[in-house]
Amino acid sequence: MPLIEARNLCKEYFQKNVLKDISFRVQSGEVFVVIGPNGAGKTTLLRILDLLDEPSKGTIMFDGTTINYTTNRLTLRRRIGMVFQKTVLFNMSVFDNVAYGLKVRKEDGRNIEKKARDVLKLVQLADFENKNALALSGGEAQRVALAQALVLEPDLLLLDEPTANLDPRNVSIVEEALSRVNRENKTTMIMATHNMFQVENIAHRVVVLNEGKIENIGTVQTIFGISSRFLAGFARLENVFSGFSKVTREGTSIVDAGDGVQIETAFEKTGKTTVFVRPEDIILSSNPIVSSARNSFEGRIVEISNLGSIVRLRVKAGRDFTVQITKRSFNDMQLNIDSKVFLAFKASSVQTV
């Protein structure tokens, strides 16, 4: 039985159809991510799932029970947590902000103290409990907002762009906390995001929303494996290159991306072409790479982003390439800004937009 099921949801605001016949199921313990351009209806969908707004048409099933906005809405809503993109904190300590929901529910004082401190440790704010929440940075404040939701131990956690505009360190902390809670507590999560790297990191399934309708739904591999101008239009795809493509005698194509960069692809196409390569599909080495990969370039590191166990590098190799490697590999190669590196990726890793 799914934890939550949307059946033919529609929502109309001021005679405009914001959601149009939305149906899906989310299994217990699943991380279900909603992607789509601005205005697609993602926030509206989350507000309906949080039982803040009532759909114009359609029904929601929660743990086998049909939501009735007159009789059982408030009872079921206690089992749902929500983290909004914009945080709203109280003018009190970080600890009191996190403990507030537990106090409203009249939990035992010892339980409140333990749960609040445990969740502050989870979001790496254990040393901030006595600090005024309004004096925090944006990233710290968002981690408090996440702690406020997690401390209530919801069965369903809804997240609306929870890491938008956060620096890499805060993004990493939030993602690690979410992954741990999902892994250890089996908390079901539905999250809206524009961050495709984040989608690949934590999603079990993805739904693509556009103009209030579901365009596609499936695994990360299924959704990102589809060549789609629509997907590229809103997703923060990296290593996107445009140029003139020519077919080779071997049945591949060479795309002239400019600045001396020639990218070989596994498909045949002639004319103006836009392609992209995922950062994790690029092999990086401090020494020349000997492999069957059709694409190899020499460059220098111009930017480093530490994301916990992962490091993302921007490499200038004629054009700028974003590469993702493990922290261990980064340390083993003793890389730094201006380090010379070598890149390689297969022709089959090049996808067309």
Residues 94, 80: Cα–Cα separation, whole Å: 22
Count Cα atoms within 13 angstroms, Cβ side, for 23. Answer: 5
φ, ψ for residue 139, nearest 5 deg: -65, -40
* pLDDT, position 230: 67
Q: Is the pLDDT of residue 194 over 90?
A: no
Rama region for 287: left / alpha / beta (φ>0; ψ in -120 to 50; rest): beta
Q: What integer is the mean pLDDT of 292-299?
A: 93
Residues in the chain: 353
Residues 77, 146: Cα–Cα separation, whole Å: 17
Q: What share of the chain has pLDDT > 90, as a percent? A: 74
Residues 3, 10: Cα–Cα separation, whole Å: 20
* pLDDT, position 225: 66
Per-residue pLDDT tens over the stretch 241-253: 889 999 999 999 9
Per-residue pLDDT tens over the stretch 316-346: 999 999 999 988 999 999 999 999 999 999 9
φ, ψ for residue 24, nearest 5 deg: -170, 165
Residues 228, 99: Cα–Cα separation, whole Å: 45
Q: Report the mean per-residue pLDDT for the chain.
A: 92
User: Could you tell me the pLDDT band of residue 227, with boundaries at 50, 70 and 90?
Assistant: low
Sheet (strand 351-352) strand order: 261-265, 253-258, 240-247, 271-276, 351-352
Decide: 213 and 34 in contact? Cβ < 8 Å.
no
Count Cα atoms within 13 angstroms, Cβ side, for 246. Answer: 5
φ, ψ for residue 275, nearest 5 deg: -130, 165
Task: Please name which of 15, 1, 44 lies closest in space to residue 160, comparing C-alpha atoms.
Answer: 44
The structural domains of the chain, ordered by start, are: 4-226 (3.40.50.300), 240-352 (2.40.50.100)
Q: What integer is the mean pLDDT of 279-283?
A: 89
